[in-house]
Structure 1
């Protein structure tokens, strides 16, 4: 990925395995917490907690868009 100039991954909980893989490859991971979900709120919240604790940032979509825009 680094050879292609990729250093950030935007993803959602549905691809939690991708989050882990990206993190172990040294990519910055940002998960849009309000743009993904699970069948139960407790599962969604548990996934967000795990990702934030171990693999990357968890932020609302608007915050991510501000980062992308450089604001």
Structure 2
């Protein structure tokens, strides 16, 4: 069984800060949740659209449940 792990990635020049969003059964659901979370983070930090494009991104990684997490 495959699942998708979603996260947000925030970088204002001091390295990546990765924040988990959740585990989802479809890539579309993971992407939608990560996009929603990243918009909330941008609002929290008070960044404008240009900073949003440059400093925030989403990450969605496929994960096969029959593998060890170290094999992904």
| TM surpasses 0.5 | no
Q: Which has the higher contact order (CA 8 A, sep 6+)?
A: 2
Normalising by the smaller structure, the TM-score range is under 0.3
Relative to its length, the structure with more strand (as a share) is: 2
Q: Which has the higher helix share?
A: 1
Larger radius of gyration: 2
